[in-house]
Amino acid sequence: MIVKITEHHVSVASMSSSKKENVKRNANKAGVGKGSVEKAPTTPKQPRAEKTRQKLIDASIECLAKHGYAGSQLGMISDLAGVSRRPRQYYFPSRISLMLAVWHEIRRRDDADFANLHSIEQPLEKTVELILEFAFKKYRTPQYLADLELKLAMRSDDDLARELAPLIEQRETEADELWLALFAEVDKPAEQIIATRYLHVSLLRGLAIEYLSRQDTKNLAHLEQEFTRTLHSVLA
């Protein structure tokens, strides 16, 4: 605010005396003056506000992974986050706004995990291994299960579908472009590379459902081996 008032004062010199008085009065009303920088409330509150917001997002991811979309009600999420109703409504006026924030947070985490994959030149076999390593760590995590729940919920929640569908479509396009860049040297048409990515995504979702629906998860290791063999054979 000091910068704004200083710049404004440059033009005050050419004003009439009455206009100058108006400018000073307005500045005083805005709290600009001696010692005003130290009293500004926004800066010290920002880290705390972001922490509160993040608690709600983290709690939502946990609830979605454990209880599904229908079971992840705002009261449960607020209780798990340790955040009262009023601040929750301030940051997220609706359930949809919170779910959209969850979706963006999941994408942010995915991007952080995936950041180095296409920044280093490496053999094709190593790229495939890294993709599979990332995938096998991912499908059992709360963030992946929460993402899956959001996609399934779009079938019955029209409001969520309306907001989320364009974001997912854009994300899918970006993922196609990434795979085409990663496997640019593979002697296969672009359509086949993209189809392989969809196969990869579908198999991963199948593993997640298997993980959720079975008490005994010993078979998952065998399924992961078959997954690995399939992806290597398609991209060889």
Inter-axis angle of helices 124-138 and 190-213, to 10 degrees? 30
Rounded Cα distance, 109 and 136, in Å: 15
* Tens digit of each residue's pLDDT (9 = 90 or more) over 187-199: 999 999 999 999 9
Band of the pLDDT at 119, cuts 50, 70, 90? low
Rounded Cα distance, 38 and 44, in Å: 10
Amino acid at the residue 209:
I
* Tens digit of each residue's pLDDT (9 = 90 or more) over 23-79: 344 444 444 444 433 333 333 357 888 899 999 999 999 999 999 999 999 999 999
* Residue linked to tokens 């963030």: 143
* Residue linked to tokens 């605010």: 1
Q: What are the C-alpha distances in Å from 197 to residues 63, 67, 123, 230, 231?
A: 29, 29, 18, 12, 9
pLDDT of 106 > 70? The answer is: yes
Rounded Cα distance, 10 and 4, in Å: 10
* pTM recorded for the entire structure: 0.75
Instruction: Write down the pLDDT at residue 214.
Output: 83
Portion of the chain with pLDDT greater than 90, in percent? 60
Inter-axis angle of helices 142-153 and 42-71, to 10 degrees? 70
* Residue linked to tokens 């998952």: 220
